[in-house]
Amino acid sequence: MSYPPPPNPNGPYGAQQPPSGPPPVQSFGQPAQPGGYPPQTQGQPPYGQYGQPQYLQQPPSASTNGMAIASLVLGILWMWWLGSILALIFGYTAKKQIAQSGGLQQGGGLATAGIVLGWIGVATLCFFLLLGLAA
């Protein structure tokens, strides 16, 4: 019985191994790096490797201005027209605070809605006062 010969310790090609990887690349007159890979630029990971993960820092979340919420609620409720006057005061104060916050507060639309409802309430009060004086 005959056994196959043992494997060659220098590989199947003997003492000379075929070159591994892609052939050497020269780009724009630069010599190729050892191993046949193109030169690396600063900050780029080598081929086949990943760089450091990039984590994006989220800006702080903007909160809703409490005066804007109060303005809208008082504009809706009216409370015998006292709520309308307070809706105007809170609405204009909220708009000023939101503008000065530099984007850290939201609620400009709520404040505007409270202001509009406040003016509607004041106009309704004036209408009823005029109607009462005319009678």
Per residue in 44-55, pLDDT (tens digit) is: 555 556 656 666
Read off the pLDDT band of 81 (50, 70, 90): confident
CA–CA separation, 76 vs 96, rounded Å?
21
CA–CA separation, 95 vs 65, rounded Å?
9
Q: In the prediction, which pLDDT does 120 show?
A: 94
CA–CA separation, 42 vs 67, rounded Å?
52
Least Cα distance to 121 among 70, 71, 75, 89 occurs for 75
For residues 64 and 107, the answer to whether their CB atoms sit within 8 Å is yes
CA–CA separation, 108 vs 110, rounded Å?
5
CA–CA separation, 112 vs 77, rounded Å?
16
Per residue in 100-131, pLDDT (tens digit) is: 998 899 999 999 999 999 999 999 999 999 99
C-alpha of 76 from chain center? 33
Q: In the prediction, which pLDDT does 42 show?
A: 58
